[in-house]
Amino acid sequence: MPDEKYIIGITGGIGSGKSTVANLFRERGFHIIDADDVARDVVKPGSELLIKITTHFGKDILNRDGSLNRAKLASIVFQNQKEREYLEQILHPKIISQIIIQIEKADVKTVIIVVPLLIESGMDKLCDLVIVVIADVETRITRIEKRNTVDRDEILSRINAQISDTERSENADIIIDNNSDVNELARQVDKVITKIS
């Protein structure tokens, strides 16, 4: 990675508030690369990876328009560790290389990457600063239930499939506690900005 760039990684479990934190940084003028956007892009219709996924999981995994039904795929892989590992093993290298390309292309000094599996994928090693967003499991479940039409059991199985906040926090330079309201979250973001400026 070019020396002149300062790379901040934001991670956290599902529903912890990573995207909300990233948006607060975006509103304050920071350049954000979102791994979820990259993950969507690498499986777009016609991509080599979508063909691989369809060959493995069957055509039922596609929407009528030929795009990937991500919710369906997620519900399969979060119930089956082997399938999850298969999917991660084909997706992650491509997502990581695309993120690196986007970092290099970004014409700014500080780049923020938002990556759900930052630590698990080893991408934290690319970062100059690792921010882990944490929130209590119950709070996360309530927030996700409000956001999506996914039931509690499915949310819990996703939370349990991921590493814990304790493990994430061990790899953090900065921990953002998102158990309070968004104003408090913004205060913590401003504190980080003061620290890195």
Chain residues binding ligand ADP by CB under 6 A are: 12, 14-20, 143, 147, 178, 181-182, 185
- CA–CA gap between residue 119 and residue 130 (Å, rounded): 9
In the bound complex, what is the minimum distance in angstroms from residue 47's beta carbon to ligand ADP? 24
| Of residues 3 and 181, the one with the C-beta less far from ligand ADP | 181
Backbone angles phi, psi at 147, to 5 degrees: -80, -45
Backbone angles phi, psi at 71, to 5 degrees: -65, -40
- CA–CA gap between residue 115 and residue 191 (Å, rounded): 21
| Of residues 20 and 171, the one with the C-beta less far from ligand ADP | 20
In the bound complex, what is the minimum distance in angstroms from residue 133's beta carbon to ligand ADP? 6
| Of residues 110 and 188, the one with the C-beta less far from ligand ADP | 188
| Of residues 3 and 151, the one with the C-beta less far from ligand ADP | 151
In the bound complex, what is the minimum distance in angstroms from residue 109's beta carbon to ligand ADP? 25
In the bound complex, what is the minimum distance in angstroms from residue 139's beta carbon to ligand ADP? 8
6-12: strand order across its sheet: 31-34, 110-114, 6-12, 129-134, 174-177
- Residues constituting the chain: 197
